[in-house]
Amino acid sequence: MLPSLVSLDKQYLWHPFTPYDLWFNPTYEPLVIEKAQGCYLYDSKGKKYWDGNSSIWTTTHGHCHPRIVKAIIECLSQVDHISFLGNTHPWAVKLGQKLVSMVSEDNQTSYRVFFSDNGSTAIEAAIKIAWQALQQRGEKQRNLFLCLKGGYHGDTVGAMSVSSVPFQNRFNELLFDSLDVASPSCFHCPWNRSKREKGKDARLSKECFWECLEELKRIVAENGHRLAAMIVEPKIQGASGMWMHPEGYIKEAFQLVRDAGAFFIVDEVFSGMGRAGSKIAASQKENVNADFICFAKGLSGGTLPIAVTLVKEEIFECFKGGYNEAFLHGHSYTANPVACAAAYENLAIFEEENTFDRIAGLSRDLQSFSQVFWNHPLVGDVRVEGAVLAIELLKDKKCSSLDSHFDRGWAVTERAKAYGLVSRPIKDVLILVPPYCSTRDDIEGMVSALYRALTDVLPPSSSSSF
């Protein structure tokens, strides 16, 4: 008898972010996905699922969008890959031009596009460019990076150094020092004096004096002379648990940091490509023209690995000169033509197929259907930003965290597979990040599947026992 695909996987492969006491449990049966189309996934048994995770937050217009597939095939029929070290090609040029035009449409800011492979490397490039630019401008005292508490910017060493999520703590001795400041997450805010009205996103019922901004003002005032840059995930801190920011924070933070003479880096790896709604970059929603804009994940529509770091022209000027002034950083697959072709077509679809209108409708549907979660006594917050829904679970209404020894979020999303939904939680936060092609019926089905799974795993009538 031939070994199964799953048994061969368990013999040869190593999956990221996967606890192996679960993976090797003989009762655990992972999905084997053999096909993806639109907002659906199909397993090896022929069962159809909603992709409520957009395949780790990468799929924009839906799986196997015919325009993106065609662009990939046409490019691949001409070229597979060439070095971008001193060479160029039309797919990179077209993509760079379109990206700059889309992020500059409201403010006419001029950017250069530096290519890389994924979100971590886009952030890594931004950090190193900022550092080298300051060195070459003679501002060597500027060596401090600020980040938000709970922020996550990737798994490379530089990206980890400006992150503050607990799961990276084991690597602390590898990292350079940075300083984290209070996150403007109203639900987790220690200063929020609201009673957290049932049925209302914490951002809409907050009672505070913007103490998070006051803390940032104090830290910038104390450290402004040595501040190199601040890095933020605008509007939504993804891996923190979809911590969503109230309107106005990013704009104020940007002004504070720029007034101190430092750079402002926006990590749009998750919240960009329309995920936060209405603009290609979430920071554009508050008219912030950051010094660095990092895109990845949805840049190719979920097809091929590609990332970019957009850098203001005035910073690029610091690198003009000879070999000593050049930015000596890059990757073998930098600006891969096939990936560039996919990314260009992905952006063209945004402009030509009314994607932002579709995202607005999708956001309204998420808002509407997700109200059912407020009926569950263990739901502490239901929040939506653009095409993202987060449901945060609590032990009780005093907002204490769930028992960390029992992964309720994982149990709920595993149960949701029985109702045709593939999703992935972040600890105690249930999440839906649907592809933009999802219809109103699809959104209703995804939300219903997740709620049914929640009530199966944590029955409302017995919630007091948790």
Q: How far is CA 443 from the centre of its chain?
A: 20
**229 bridge partner residues:** 145, 263
Query: Annotated binding residue at 111?
Result: no
Q: Where are the alpha helices (DSSP H) in 104-167?
A: 119-136, 157-161
Q: Tell me if 329 sits within 8 A of 128, measured CB to CB.
A: yes
Query: Annotated binding residue at 332?
Result: yes
Query: Annotated binding residue at 398?
Result: no
Q: DSSP letter at 395?
A: S
The DSSP H or E segment spanning 148 is strand 144-148
The residues, ordered by sequence, that sit 6+ positions from 136 with a Cβ below 8 Å of its Cβ are 318, 319, 325
Query: Annotated binding residue at 297?
Result: yes
The helix/strand/coil state of 352 is: helix
Query: Annotated binding residue at 226?
Result: no
Query: Annotated binding residue at 330?
Result: yes
CA distances from 429 to 223, 238, 394 (A): 34, 11, 9
Cα angle vertex 209, ends 207, 211, to 5°? 115
Q: Which residue from 274, 310, 316, 272 is spatially nearest to 97, judged by alpha carbons? A: 310
Angle, in degrees to the nearest 10, between helices 355-369 and 337-352:
70
Query: Annotated binding residue at 376?
Result: no
Q: Which residue from 59, 60, 28, 34 is spatially nearest to 49, judged by alpha carbons? A: 34
Question: What number of CA atoms fall less than 13 Å from residue 394's CA on the CB side?
Answer: 16
Query: Annotated binding residue at 49?
Result: no
Sign of CA dihedral 425, 429, 433, 439: positive
CA distance 453 to 418: 8
Query: Annotated binding residue at 279?
Result: no
Going by the annotation, the residues of the binding site for substrate are 152, 297, 330, 424
* Binding residue numbers for pyridoxal 5'-phosphate: 119-120, 267, 331-332
Residues at the binding site are 119-120, 152, 267, 297, 330-332, 424
